[in-house]
Chains A and B, each alone.
Chain A
Amino acid sequence: MAAIDAEPVQGGATQGDRDMRSHALIALAVTAAMAAAGPVTAAEPIRIGFNVPLTGFAAADGASAKNGAELAVEQINAAGGVGGRMLELVSYDDQASPKEVVPIANKLIEQDKVTAAISGSYSAPTRAAASIFQSAKVPYISAYAIHPDITRAGDYVFRTSFMGEVQGRAGAKLVGDILKKKRVVMITLQNDFGKSLADGFKEAAGTFGVEVVAEYEYSIKDRQFGPIVTRVKADAPEVIYASGYFFTAGPLVSQLRAAGIDVPVIGQEGYDSQKFIEIAGAASEGVIITTSLDRDSKDPEARDFIAAFEKKAGYPADMVAASGHTAVKVLAAALGAAGSTDPQAIRDAIAKSHVKASTGTISFNGLGEVEKDVQVQIVRDGRWHHFAVIDDRKLLAAPTN
């Protein structure tokens, strides 16, 4: 560079020499400064990949997951980052579609060179992405996708939320043991989420003396449940176990109540949003769900999250937001414990996690499945509130292979 700069100088050798020397000196100084900065190049941020549905039918959950994950990154960076390095969330819209997520996962690995990645998306894309991250040996955490095959992609894949089956079993305990109800009608959402919940529920129903009188299925696009409501009314159950998301469960619960069906409705984490209460209105009162965020928690992590999230996002925290937040916190703790960005070290550190987060104390079994308590929440006066906690480790044990 010095040589090129010196070239136009025609004013005699001395001038040129002096320029050459001064340029060389500058170059030397710059090189020295860069060398001195060597350890500081570590101040380059640690990049975390994030696939999340920001458009399409799952865009509402995607927005919450992203807000939750961003909040965690902001909090960690405000407290000095991890080992002096800031975290940077590199997020892409996967439209909750396995077709969209494949190029995204490859881009995150090869172009963005992320240190680790998190899924803020549904089961189908998360399953597709998990095997890609696994074969690249990039640690990958599923924040709230529930399909059992996700963690079976391999030892670099973890899940900080409950598998559908596990939560389904908790639902059976809630119905049979806590509420002491026996005759249940199931209304099952026809997708990975609903099916795995139903499997878990039916598996544990017998243990708690719960009899499944009938089961009806609906599609994620349904908002009108007239025929099912009519049938359920004729079945006259003691309790209804209905899987769904707030945008299906809201209309479902209000239509059940409008038809004069007043038995308890049991839902799951898919209901877990203030939006459910907004849609179902007065019909939402008394609805009970299994989830992972306790709105009345005494835990500082949960309390702090609930307050900080509402401040950042402008609407009350929900399960998906808490799950995104938890996944980032778990990953950040592992990055700190690993003390390096070596994938193997990070993977090992995640496997050994024992992290207090907004959704409880997170640790993993050998398959990378979370071990934590199930929170039972109820709608009272238009807000989610504490109802019970299920901490039966044997009932909640996820498969280990």
Chain B
Amino acid sequence: MFLVELFVQGLIQGSVYALIAVGLTLVYGLLRILHVAHAGLFTLGGYAGVLVTNATGSVAVALVFAALSVGAVGMAVYRFCYEPILRRPPYVALIASIGLFIAMEELFRIVFGPFGLTYDIVPLQGSVVIGGMYLRSAELVTMALAAVLIGGLGLLAGRTRIGLAWRATVSVPEMAESFGIDIVKVRYLNFFIGSALAGVAGVMVSVLNNLVEPTMGSVASYKALAIIVLGGLGNVRGTLVAALTLGVIEAYGTIYLAGFLDRDAIAFAVLIVILMVRPQGLFGRSA
């Protein structure tokens, strides 16, 4: 029973990782940029969640607002940070992204203060007992949102014309363009969707912790990178599986490996082992 509970806890954490990492892998797939500042957008979602919920009393409104506003900011990040340097070597964008992430953290601190923000009335605090297992409503909602949103993304990519254009652009951008696909639009769409998912993750984490701090994204900034490498860079399905797997491994690791391995180190230990066996990542195509 206890082992099952640990497994469920792992899935909850894994759902959060998935919501964050999917956006990151989308950006990598399209532009080959390691978008570290994505974690800053996740934090922005947290702030949007607390501020809008406190103002309106509705976490649902906050979720929608966070998805739209963080999505829009994500498009702005593409337009003003990445687009001007697309033709430079990849490390230029990486350095710009790290710089942007640090600037965002400090901006949050200056604007919202170093102590972090909390909810006036924390939403989704009821708990449900399922087979002797206490699950908070917020945890259930986190898992449900991850499933619905990422599932929806899969449908969008697989079953619609937009999705077709998107996949075409990812595979062979020049060919897609010659077929009349507006690849700039695809990039904006890509940043909007990825950032909106991170914004939703930010709201859910702020509810789970009842705390948004300027540095909330610091773990996400590097752990999500480990996850997308595990999932095979640019591979959404692989990223999803890697995120959930890592969540579960961490849950067991926190209890059984705590003496010698930090929870945040587990991701990288797994990463090293997997890359030794499969250099292309768990689900990456071998080059």
Interface positions of A (Cβ within 8 A of B): 54-57, 59-60, 62-63, 190, 216-219, 221-224, 226-228, 230-231, 233-234, 247, 250-251, 254, 258-260, 275, 278-281, 315
Contact = CB atoms under 8 A, between A and B. Distances in A.
B277 interface: no
Given A63-B115, A227-B255, 19 more contacts: A56-B215, A57-B213, A57-B215, A57-B218, A60-B116, A223-B208, A226-B9, A227-B251, A230-B5, A233-B134, A247-B213, A250-B209, A250-B210, A250-B211, A251-B211, A258-B134, A279-B118, A280-B210, A315-B115
Most buried by B among A59, A190, A216, A230: A230
Interface string B115-159: 110100010010100000010100100000000000000000000
A247 B211 contact: yes
Contacts of B90: none
Given A222-B263, A227-B10, A216 B255 contact: yes
B9 A230 contact: yes
A227 B254 contact: yes
B85 interface: no
Interface string B253-287: 01100110011100000000000000000000000
A227 B114 contact: no
A221 B9 contact: no
B205 A223 contact: yes
Interface in B214-260: 214-216, 218-219, 250-252, 254-255, 258-259
A226 B7 CA distance: 10
Contacts of B216: 223
B210 A281 contact: yes
B252 A227 contact: yes
Interface of A is mostly: helix
Contacts of B114: 54, 59-60, 62-63
Given A219-B262, A251-B210, A279-B118, A227 B136 contact: no
A253 to B, nearest CB: 11
Contacts of B262: 190, 219
B213 A278 contact: no
Contacts of A57: 213, 215, 218
Contact of B254 (A54, A216, A250, A275): A216
Given A55-B109, A226-B9, A250-B211, A221 B251 contact: no
Contacts of B250: 227
A54 B191 CA distance: 33
Nearest to A230: B5
Contacts of B91: none
A219 B211 contact: no
B109 A59 contact: yes
Most buried by A among B205, B211, B251: B211
